[in-house]
Structure 1
Amino acid sequence: MKELLFYAVNREYIKYLSMYDEHVSYNKDDIGHSRPYLGIVLEIKCYRYFVPLYSYKEHYEKYKNNPSFFFIYDRKRRPLAIIKFSAMIPIPMKMNVMNILNYSEQDKNYRNLISAEYRFVNSNKEEIYKRANKMYVAVTQHKNNFLKTIACNFKLLEEKAREYKNI
C-alpha cells in the first residue's frame, strides 16, 4: 500500500466548499499565528479525498468509539491528534489545490509532532483506508442516519468539486 503523505489544502478551495456544506472544516487563522490545515489524501471510489487531522483535545475522549474519529498516538500511546473522517472533502483529480506540507518551514516542536503523527498514520494506513471507505458508504448510501447528520455531504461536495475546476 502506498505511503500516506500530509498535505495542506488551498484555503480558497476550502472556503468555496464551506459555502455549500456547514460540516466542511475551515481553518481560521489565529491572530498572528497560522497553522496549515493538515490532512492525508486517500482514494475513495473515483475521488481523491482530503481527510483532515485535528489537534488532540481532552474532550475527544468521549468519541473513542465514534466511527468518524481515528485517534493518532505517540510511541507511548499518548493521544496526539485525530483523523476526522466525517469532515473529509473531495479534491478534483486534475487540480492543484494542495501542496505537500514543507516540514522545514515549521518550528522544531511542531516538526516533531508532525513526524510522530506521520509514523503512526503510515503504520495504520490499512485501518485508515478501511474506516474512510466505511464512512463514505454509510453516508452516501444512507446506512447510518447519525453519521449523515454529522458528516459532510460527500455527493454534493463531489459535484461542487467538479464545478470548482470550471470556475
Structure 2
Amino acid sequence: MGKLMFYEVSNQYINYLKLFESKIPNINYDKNNKFVCGVVLSVDGFDYFAPISSFSKQQKTNILIKNSNGETISSIRFSFMIPIPKNEIKIKNFSKEEYKYRRLLLEEWQYCNSIKDKIISKANYIYKRYNSGYDKTLIKNCCDFKLLEEKCLEYQSYLQPIEEVAATKKIEDRDIEKENKNKNDWEIER
C-alpha cells in the first residue's frame, strides 16, 4: 500500500448510505466539507475510508492528529469508516483551498502518513472488534460495517434507475427541442 491520501466523497453516495445507517456523519458544512482518509482498511474487496474530524477528544475508536508542536488539531474517526467504491471518491485537491486551511490539511496529511501503520492497525482492530459482536459499546457507537458493505454492493443497482431516468429525460428533452425546431421552421415557411 502506498501513502494515505485525503479524499472527497460524492454527496449522492453518502446520502444513499444514510438511508440505511443513521450514524453516517454529515459531509456538508458551511465552511469546509468533511473529507476522508484512506485506504485505512481493505477487506473482502472493500476499501474503507475514515473521516477526518475536528473532534479532539481521545476515544477508543479514534486517533488524534497532532501538529508539529504536538498539539491535537483533529482526529481520524474509525467508528464512522465506510467502504467507498472508486467511482464515488476523488483525491482532495489542497491547492483549491485557502492558504491557512491548505497548511492545516498538509499538516494533518503528513501526520497521518507518519503513523500510517498505527492507523491501519487501528482500523483493522475496530472492524474486527465490532464484527465480533462482543463489544456492546462499539456496537452502539460504530457504523454497521457489514450492512455498509452490503449497501455498497447494491449501490450500482440503486444508481441504474436514476441513470435510466436521466437518460430518458435527455432523450425527451432532445425530442422536444427537435419538435420545437421543426415547428418553428414550419411557421417560418408559412
Amino acid at match of 1:88: M
* Correspondence for 1:162 among 137, 149, 153: 153
8 Å Cα contact 1:5/1:41 also seen in 2: yes
Which residue in the other structure is 2:73 paired with?
80
Structure number with higher relative contact order (C-alpha < 8 Å, ≥ 6 residues apart):
1
* Correspondence for 1:106 among 81, 84, 97: 97
Which residue in the other structure is 1:3 paired with?
3
* Correspondence for 1:40 among 22, 29, 37: 37
Equivalent positions of 1:66-145 (< 5 A) are: 66-92=59-85, 95-145=86-136
- Indicate the structure (1 or 2) with the bigger Cα radius of gyration: 2
8 Å Cα contact 1:137/1:143 also seen in 2: no
Q: How far does the alpha carbon of each residue in 1:99-142 deviate from its partner, in whole angstroms, 9 at most, with x for none?
A: 10111110000000001001100000000000000000011121
Q: In 1, Cα distance between the equivalents of 2:28 and 2:9?
A: 13
Identity of aligned residues (%): 31
Which residue in the other structure is 1:50 paired with?
49
Gaps of 5+ in 1: none
Equivalent positions of 1:20-39 (< 5 A) are: 20-30=20-30, 33=31, 35-39=32-36
Q: In 1, Cα distance between the equivalents of 2:92 and 2:27?
A: 15
Gaps of 5+ in 2: 159-190
Aligned-pair distance for 1:28? 3.1
Aligned-pair distance for 1:143? 2.8
Q: TM-score, normalised by structure 1?
A: 0.88
Amino acid at match of 2:43: K
Structure 1 runs of 4+ off > 4 angstroms? none
Task: Work out the number of aligned pairs and report it.
Answer: 156
